[in-house]
Chain A
Amino acid sequence: MGDEPRAWLRTAVASLAICAAGGALLARGTDGFRALTSEQARRNEIARAPRAVPAVALEDQDGRPFALAAYRGRPLAVDFVYTQCRSVCSLLSTGFQRLDRAEWSRGGARDDRLQLVSVSFDPRDTPARLREYASHFGADGHAWRFARLRDPGDLGELLGAFGVVVIPAAGGDFQHNAAVHLVDARGRLARVLDAGAQPEEVARALASMGPAPPLAAATDGR
């Protein structure tokens, strides 16, 4: 074989090798082309390997101390908001309101309904402010609680465990990745759904999550 054809053959081999290696690396870096954004990567990762929620101390809108671990055994949805938010949090809270008003049935026990916790990451949110915000959305303060950290120093640990990134924006606002976080009966963060997830979607995700008996949801007319 002459020099020129051999060089073209080598070039073809090199190009194919680059395509194969580069394609494999791109596939790896994007979870098999399923995650082009960090948010999608976070959701895939959590669905594949549910992780324990951190045992940080919270207090609700009435100043009652509690921890997310106390919900073990009951289905729980968590979101992250701040009460002065004018954009994505209202979408989250409207979505939670829909989940709050949906009829959750599992053997009929009241305690078995989906529990909701909205955690504020804004240090300006006092229990009084949270109470006002809760009443605006018709939350009863039990099945749907609004909470803040007892020690603001725990914020990094809590957000890190959930994979939520909060960055300050102009005018005292924040921007953050908004989603519905589902915690399974074993107290593990197991699914992340879109902010406006419908009760049926949440019920399907809960049913796919694990050992707890499946829940059925039906939206009532309220």
Chain B
Amino acid sequence: MIAALAGMLLVGILALPEAREALERVMAAHMLVQIPLLAAAGALIASGVPPGWRTRIEAWNRGGVSGMVLALIASAWWMVPRALDQALASPAMELTKFVTLPLLVGAPVALSWSHVGAVGRGFVIANVLPMWAVVGWLYVVAPVRVCNFYLVEQQVSAGAALLAASVALAAGVGVLAFRPYRTPPIHR
């Protein structure tokens, strides 16, 4: 319950005009700090879902499939450059961002990930990380400015940060995936 309250508090803090101004002024902070924190807040909020509700959700979310599909589609929208521009230009789209990232990205992942099997987890990670890397690389090398509200230098640094984050995460996941472990003895 405390985690859920902390999640709501986090959304509240991120929604403060000062926090929004500070994080949205820089494209890299908008994409790599504010958006992930909103999703993380949703994951915290999901920990407050009562057991009865969890059972009902799981009846429609075997293997975490529905939740992961929902999170992947909702997060795809927030990777579209036009969405970032719209969030800055229109209060309705900004509100949409503050609702959808916690509830349609962070919360479904938190409610689904523990049900996703090892192969499914590997599949998601192995698709998401290269996608981030490619998006980051495109932002660095794109000959055009993709956001009307961000300078081209900001686009390059956001791309570089996204690329760096995906490489760092891939390295971390790689270490976990390939860490040595004792093979259980085979009994004949």
Candidates A11, A23, A37; contact of B82 at CB < 8 Å: A37
Shortest CB-to-CB span from A183 to chain B, Å, is 21
Q: Mark the stretch among B15-23, B64-72, B164-172 that contacts chain A.
A: B64-72
Tell whether, in the assembled complex, residue A8 and residue B62 are in contact, meaning their CB atoms are under 8 Å apart.
Answer: yes
Q: How large is the interface on A (under 10, 10 to 19, 20 to 34, 35 or more residues)?
A: 20 to 34
Tell whether, in the assembled complex, residue B148 and residue A165 are in contact, meaning their CB atoms are under 8 Å apart.
Answer: yes
Candidates A14, A15, A18, A25; contact of B77 at CB < 8 Å: A25
Tell whether, in the assembled complex, residue A22 and residue B70 are in contact, meaning their CB atoms are under 8 Å apart.
Answer: yes
Tell whether, in the assembled complex, residue B70 and residue A175 are in contact, meaning their CB atoms are under 8 Å apart.
Answer: no
What sequence of 0s and 1s flags, for each residue 68-81 of chain B, a beta carbon within 8 Å of any chain A beta carbon?
Answer: 01100110110011
Secondary structure of the B side of the interface?
helix
B4 in contact (CB, < 8 A): no
- CA A11 to CA B152, docked complex, whole Å: 43
Tell whether, in the assembled complex, residue A11 and residue B66 are in contact, meaning their CB atoms are under 8 Å apart.
Answer: yes
Tell whether, in the assembled complex, residue B81 and residue A18 are in contact, meaning their CB atoms are under 8 Å apart.
Answer: no
A49 in contact (CB, < 8 A): no
Residues of A21-42 whose CB lies within 8 A of B: 22-23, 25-26, 29-30, 35-41
Residues of B34-85 whose CB lies within 8 A of A: 58-63, 65-66, 69-70, 73-74, 76-77, 80-83, 85
Which residues of A come within 8 Å of B, CB atoms? 4, 7-8, 10-12, 14-15, 18-19, 22-23, 25-26, 29-30, 35-41, 165, 167, 169, 175, 177
